[in-house]
Amino acid sequence: MNISPVIFKSYDIRGIYPEELNEEAAYAIGRAYARRTGANQIVVGSDMRLSGPALKEQFIRGVTDEGANVVDVGLVPIDAVYFAVRKQNYPAGAMITASHNPKEYNGFKLPLPGIGWVRGEEIKTDVENLPPAAAERKGKVAAIDIMPDYIKHVLSFADLSNIKPLKIVVDAGNGMAGKVVPLLEPRLPIKIIPLNFELDGNFPAHPSNPLLPESQTQIRQAVMENKADGGVIFDGDTDRLFFIDERGEFVRADMTLLILAKEFLRREPGAGIVYNAICSKAVPEIIKEWGGRALRSKVGFVNVMETMAREQGIMGGELSAHYSFRDNGYADSGFIAWLILLELLSQSGGPLSAIVKEFQRYHKSDEINIKLTDREEAISKLKAKYADGQQENFDGLTVTYNDWWFNVRPSNTEPLLRITIETPNQAMTAEKQEEILKIIQAVI
């Protein structure tokens, strides 16, 4: 087999189709996953990416050639597969998706029961060492409609009677939200203004990544033009979502985490809330002020999930806008986060911008990404420059002073150094950013 090793990432499998990830790789991954899990049934779903049908067909062939049965749940959001595995007790699952990546990408996410997860880097060796012959007995394929049970599960997280008739713009981004939101809408008292609900793996409206400014232009305008109470924009497989306030302003994900945390601490006082290492320091401060346990995690939704389970947290989130919930099998779900925020916004008596303003204690830079080969050299120089600060190597390098902090960490998947800076005000953030970038640029 000629399978590109670059597709096997820290958390999942992902690559450009067909140059990196192709049908041959999908077949081998299906066989390897069946052998590694020993599962007699594997739930398989996919999103609307153009290469999905071809990769899914070969993945299923690989699974059944190893004697395992497949439960094909069709076109679904990622958390429907999580639901099948974590709540309906199927022994293994696979979702064919590249999440928010550009249209030429596709990939596999491989969740297991509990907090189990087969990472891409783990299955790489299994793929490389597959025996030439598969099992003599072939597995069978059965198609089921999981959506009615999944929708019921999602709706159980909010008290729908508390939701007021808000006007909300929803941008599905031509992704799976275009299938799910119409199933939720009849149960919700809100008025939805739909954008880009047609499933289309070409992503004609804008990129699938909601963090990109060009992805936000349309929804910002729609919120303002329709005098809406806010908006929500989903990525392709719907595990990530970002909110837009009534003024058309982007709401940073760690601020959304605090909004959700407040509700979960009301439901369960003293509960643990997981946040990642690059969230604003306002996040642990405010969680503690509310009587909760602030649980710090490394960046990455799998790390958030594992920390939540290990430390007995009730929910968690991170700057990339993954929000995970204990009662969702510790998995993330964009739709659960959306419904809870609708409930909170309805009860607040004020606009979303006012809720967010309460939590904005500091000025935080957007994450800066520098393409860099010798990332360790750059980190070493920063350690030396800021030796008088409190340093830790929890997730990359974090240096903390009384009035500001920064984090630099190597990307797990690309030759990038990622930089986050937080200070008391915009001027100081700009000053520290220039200072730090000058040190890094000297290494390039």
Superfamily of domain 363-441: Alpha-D-phosphohexomutase, C-terminal domain (3.30.310.50)
Q: Which pTM value belongs to this model?
A: 0.95
Domain boundaries, the chain: 5-145, 150-247, 253-357, 363-441
Question: Averaged over 282-305, what is the pLDDT?
Answer: 96
Residue 273 has pLDDT above 80, yes or no: yes
Read off the amino acid at residue 288: K
54 within 8 A of 23, measured Cβ to Cβ: yes
Burial of 229 from C-beta contacts in 10 A (0-12 / 13-18 / 19+): buried
Token pair 């985490």: residue: 257
Q: Which of 89, 6, 80 is nearest to 46 (CA)?
A: 80
Residue 413 has pLDDT above 80, yes or no: no
d(CA 189, CA 275): 31
User: Fold for domain 150-247?
Assistant: Alpha-D-Glucose-1,6-Bisphosphate; Chain A, domain 3 (3.40.120)
Q: With H, G, I as helix, E, B as strand and everything else as coil, classify residue 60.
A: helix
| Predicted local confidence at residue 133, as pLDDT | 81
Could you please state the CATH topology (level 3) that the domain comprising 5-145 is classified under.
Answer: Alpha-D-Glucose-1,6-Bisphosphate; Chain A, domain 3 (3.40.120)
Mention every residue, 6+ apart, whose C-beta is less than 8 A from residue 147: 76, 80, 180, 183
pLDDT at 260 over 90: yes
> What digits encode the pLDDT tens for the residues 117-153?
999 999 999 999 999 888 889 999 999 999 999 999 9
- pLDDT value at residue 10: 86
What's the pLDDT score for residue 439?
A: 95
Same fold, 5-145 and 253-357: yes
**Residue 317 CB: number of other CB atoms within 10 A?**
29
Q: What angle do CA 270, 276, 278 make, to 5 degrees?
A: 130
Residue 363 has what pLDDT?
A: 97
Q: Token digits for 146?
A: 């999981």
In the CATH scheme, what is the homologous superfamily, with its name and number, of domain 253-357? Alpha-D-Glucose-1,6-Bisphosphate, subunit A, domain 3 (3.40.120.10)
99 assigned to active site: yes
46, 51, 99, 324: which one is catalytic?
99
User: Cα dihedral sign for 221, 356, 264, 191?
Assistant: negative
Residue 18 preceded by cis peptide, ω within 30 = yes
Q: In this structure, are residues 311 and 305 in contact, taking their beta carbons and an 8 Å threshold?
A: no
Cα angle: 259, vertex 282, 440; to 5 degrees: 120
